A and B are shown apart, each in its own frame.
Chain A
């Protein structure tokens, strides 16, 4: 049998042949698994993934809420519909900032122009922080299908377009979420479906709330500022009435936030209304409104949503000061 060994040795695959075989296996697996994941992704039932897909591809409501977790937990679409007779959807997503919101707006404006957009703006939103670019990964599955958001995704890294060669990469870190979404085992998902994007916080936080003594950063990220300005310009170009809101905090802030000041300054330039609820006595130290240290619970969100609607209706001339006071009293009683 030594001749067989000899032949085997003689015909042992060369490094080049082995590399080619390895690459073939790798690309084949990437293609097969990537296609499967893409299919799984598109079939997601209501949940975090579904909400992004819905926002990008199907949303057609009159009022849209943009922002991070504060937006997501503070604005109740159902109340907007009831009081303003306009449909509403909350696109707010945990941990996201203006970059993500602008991508969603771009996706929406490709299809239609909503009547009103509310952008919930956070303290330190313009902060130079690389992590905020990393979080744009949530949008990578839409890179191929939505050319209008490619430039925003490419802010993550200059190599983003090369990473797209992989069919699996867009669904990185999503496999277990997608599997769970497919088998509908997550209780929260049904709530999300019912409440048009709004996710209520049901707990009440009784923790000691200490005043915020931070000064906020003045080390601004110019990209974020430009994107914020583009958000305003795109809304105005598409005749979307934009309101910028700074959500209330349960704690007292001792110093003004430089990012909020900068955003207010830009908004003023474009004649955009800014509702700043920082240090609002209606919310500071109101434990019954606190879902956790930084967010309102459902009761707080109801009260806050009504206040925002009052402000918008007043701006639009749909309601007068007297009516606002009556509304406030009614809400307080409830």
Chain B
């Protein structure tokens, strides 16, 4: 059930209506039922995997919480970690590991004549998201920062709640579980704000991301025949595409959750306006980067603090390799992570020098150049991200400099892409810098707001791509 499909909106409208009509005590149960239905709609067999993850983490969470013995706590914690990572490795990384193991055998001139035991299984949707969420939950119990959830229904809903199930945000127990405990009553603001958020999500996905996707896939699939300028434009636009696609999905997820009275954590904070790479990662896929920060970076940095700056670099390197490989079982994702780590290590090492330079230059110019450079770096790293192999990524960069020929861009396609990106970025700029005192979408007059959102929907009808594909982050 795609978030942009008519069937999804029928499902949402029906669910919201029933949710507020039934007594409050049955509402969480109702959400569990519709979340399971939603997941079954994706693929029936996936439900067994998530049920296994729920059962094992619920049980081990309680055991960790109840026991006073540190050793037993640790044993249960590692058991949970083993179960969660086994599921993730089996479904997501098995073929990648086997392939590389056999290649290593070949390198070492060992016998690799046996046929590799590859698995013909598709990655269950949402697996990386809910596994990371449950690992975070178990770790928090072990650290003593939260209590284990003893109500099975509540824990099930924490894991399976449908708006965040497929592409996150990767929720935290201390943020989401308390919301499941409170009584939710009907509030028209939740419906209005939720609907508005969904409208923006649809705009980003249908008008910006899917429109660019048509151009980008056409250019990249025929890159041998495209001019360098065309390939460069497609790569620059891809940055906008990924942002619009993922943040658009998140907006729909957050808007949906809001309609049921829940506030999911924000996943994006205008990342394309970041002034450096570390700021970019504080604004981009926040639920993943903050997860990695809390559960990987901080423990490593703390453990190796006596290494001085090198301990920090090591923690950064490991964290970003994890972020990279989280995206998928391919070396390109590992290199994508490494490229981010290198940039962050560079930024950490040159922090003082850059601060000195910034004092000598006009702050507007310095900030604008910083935003541009960060954007270009992100665009460059996304070339690795979008390629199947590292060789393919470098070939694409090579083509940007050597391919000659006509610039491929029909005026109408260009106008659609530029208009979409402009509207999205103007909205972000206004949110970030409050350039204009007049605002259409948060105007004091509710009528002006209504007209603004009606125009937004009209523009989606005019310029949206209604035959577009899946969300990019479904693949992760």
Give the complex CA separation of A30 and B453 in angstroms.
Answer: 13
Of the candidates B191, B450, B461, B465, the one whose C-beta lies within 8 Å of that of A169 is B461
Q: Which of B238-277 contact A (CB under 8 A)?
A: none
B464 and A172 within 8 A (CB): yes
Binds B, one of A175-183, A224-232, A258-266: A175-183
A29 and B455 in contact (CB under 8 A), knowing A15-B188, A176-B416? yes
Query: Please, which residues of chain B bring their CB within 8 A of the CB of A14?
Result: 188
Partner of A26, one of B416, B454, B463: B454
> Shortest distance in angstroms between B261's beta carbon and chain A's nearest beta carbon?
14
Cα–Cα distance between A162 and B412 once the two chains are bound (Å): 27
* CA of A159 to CA of B451, assembled, Å: 27
Instruction: For A176, give its contact among B188, B412, B451, B467 (CB under 8 Å).
Output: B412
A180→B412 contact, CB < 8 A:
yes
Chain A residue nearest to B412 (CB atoms) is: A176
Measured between beta carbons, the chain A residues less than 8 angstroms from B225 are 207, 292-293
Instruction: Write out, one digit per residue, whether chain A residues 170-197 have a CB within 8 A of any chain B CB (1) or not (0).
Output: 0111011100100000000000000000
Please give, as numbers and ranges, the residues of chain B lying within 8 Å of A166 by CB-CB distance: 461
Once bound together, how far apart are the Cα atoms of A236 and B45, in whole Å? 49
* Complex CA distance for A331 and B314, rounded to whole angstroms: 73
Provide the bound-state CA to CA distance between A36 and B123, in Å: 47
A169 CB contacts on chain B under 8 angstroms: 461
Q: Pick from A21, A134, A172, A292: contact of B447, CB below 8 A.
A: A21
A99: shortest Cβ distance to chain B, in Å? 14
Residues of B in contact with A, size category:
20 to 34
Verify A15–B192 contact, CB threshold 8 A: yes
Question: Contacts A21-B447, A172-B464 hold; do A29 and B454 have CB atoms under 8 A apart?
Answer: yes
Q: Among B446, B455, B458, B463, which residue has its beta carbon within 8 angstroms of that of A18?
A: B446
B411 within 8 A of A: yes
Q: A18-B446, A162-B6, A293-B225 are in contact. Are A173 and B463 (CB under 8 A)?
A: yes
Judging by beta carbons under 8 Å apart, are B462 and A172 in contact?
A: yes
Q: How far is it, in angstroms, between the C-alpha of A207 and the C-alpha of B6 when the chains are bound?
A: 45
Asked if A22 CB lies within 8 Å of chain B CBs, one says yes
Docked complex: B414-442 residues within 8 A CB-CB of A: 415-416
B465–A173 CB distance below 8 A: yes
B52 at the interface (CB under 8 A from A): no
**Is B416's CB under 8 angstroms from A173's CB?**
yes
Give the complex CA separation of A25 and B447 in angstroms: 10
Q: Which residues of the other chain, A, contact B454 by a CB distance below 8 angstroms?
A: 22, 25-26, 29
Point out the residues of chain B lying under 8 angstroms from A172, CB to CB: 461-464, 466
Residues on the A chain within 8 Å of B415, using CB: 176
* Contact pattern, A 91-111, Cβ under 8 Å of B = 1, otherwise 0: 000000000000000000000
Residues of A within 8 A of B457 (CB): 26
Return A76 CB to nearest CB of chain B, in Å: 24
**B458 engages A33 (CB within 8 Å):** yes
| Contact between A33 and B462, CB atoms less than 8 A apart | yes
Contact A134 B467 (CB under 8 A): yes
Is the pair B411, A22 in contact by a Cβ cutoff of 8 Å? Answer: no
Docked Cα-Cα span, A14 to B188, in Å, equals 8
Asked if A168 contacts B458 (CB within 8 A), the reply is yes
**Please, how many angstroms separate the alpha-carbon atoms of A172 and B416 in the complex?**
11
Which residue of chain B has the shortest Cβ distance to A131 in the bound complex? Answer: B467
Query: When each residue 129-170 of chain A gets 1 if its CB lies under 8 Å from chain B and 0 otherwise, what string results?
Result: 001001001000000000000000000100100110010110
Query: Which of A13, A37, A156, A172 is most buried by chain B, counting CB atoms within 10 A of its CB?
Result: A172
| CB of B11, distance to nearest CB on chain A (Å) | 13
CA of A169 to CA of B457, assembled, Å: 11
| A29 CA / B452 CA spacing, docked (Å) | 11
- CA separation between A162 and B451, bound complex, in Å? 24
Chain B neighbourhood of A175, CB < 8 A: 462-463
A173 and B215 alpha carbons, distance in the complex (Å): 14
Checking A13, A176, A207 against B411 with a beta-carbon cut-off of 8 angstroms, the contacting residue is A176
7 CB < 8 A contacts A-B: A18-B446, A26-B457, A26-B458, A30-B461, A137-B467, A173-B462, A173-B464
Please give 7 more A-B residue pairs, beta carbons under 8 A apart, in addition to A26-B457, A29-B458, A168-B461. Answer: A13-B446, A15-B188, A18-B192, A21-B450, A29-B454, A166-B461, A175-B462
